[in-house]
Amino acid sequence: MEDLILLHGAIGAKSQLQPLADALKNDFNLHLINFPGHGGKPFPSSPFSIELFAHDVLHYMKQNRVANAAVFGYSMGGYVGMYMAAYFPGKISRLITLATKFHWDETVAAKEIKMLDAATIQQKIPAFAKELELRHAPENWKELLLHTQRLLSNLGIDNELKPADYSRVSTPCLLMLGDRDRMVTLEETVDVYKQLPNGSLAVLPGTPHALEKIDPDLISFYIRRFVRCD
């Protein structure tokens, strides 16, 4: 069976992808990875960056003797996958992204950073604060938010993927976006899709941004169809 790597989103963890993994377990050799500082994995010595996360995936592949794999990336995980497709094309056979924000500028970054304030989360969404604490234990979830804020700020100043990068991505890519997604726009997704030499696009009905609210059977159907197509 083909190897398939599942990548989680910002302030997420591989545990969130388990329902999708369960739906795909009979179809692929699955690999679920926590990015540094996520899911209890120790924080890196250097700042968060898309490049850092991409190299962490490559390190995992080397350690586990995975020469080449299909990659599914949710949200930020899709951005990491696209970075790998642009800079390490021989490592990815096919790339599927879901709810990935490709357009970043200082205004967009500031809006997203505002949502990552630990004190506000504790006060207004205590259940989510507890969820983050458990998801990233024994590491400090508040520190994770600070690292992620800096990552987004840096993306707003200097996007790690430039428009010219997409046109040289030879890897077949499927960009998926939910029609109820309020974080990622259809316009930015279509813009990237049009620049990809081997791009495909899917808009999912009744689908929001939050991974927990997305139907894993629907996503697994598209993954199987895309990875197995000739």
Q: Return the percent helix, strand and coil in the chain, to nearest 5.
A: 50, 15, 35
Summarised one tens digit per residue, pLDDT across range 173-220 is: 999 999 999 999 999 999 999 999 999 999 999 999 999 999 999 999
Residue 23 has pLDDT above 90, yes or no: yes
Distance CA 111, CA 129 (A): 19
Distance CA 191, CA 100 (A): 13
What's the token pair of residue 42?
């120790």
Mean pLDDT of 101-130: 95
**65 CB-contact burial (10 Å; exposed 0-12 / middle 13-18 / buried 19+):** exposed
Question: Could you tell me the pTM of the whole model?
Answer: 0.96
Query: Identity (one letter) of the amino acid at 75?
Result: S
Residues 105, 57, 95, 49, Cα dihedral to 10°: 0
Q: Which domains does the chain have, with CATH numbers?
A: 3-103+160-228 (3.40.50.1820)
Summarised one tens digit per residue, pLDDT across range 60-85 is: 999 999 999 999 999 999 999 999 99
Q: What is the pLDDT of residue 137?
A: 96
Q: pLDDT above 70 covers what percent of the chain? A: 99
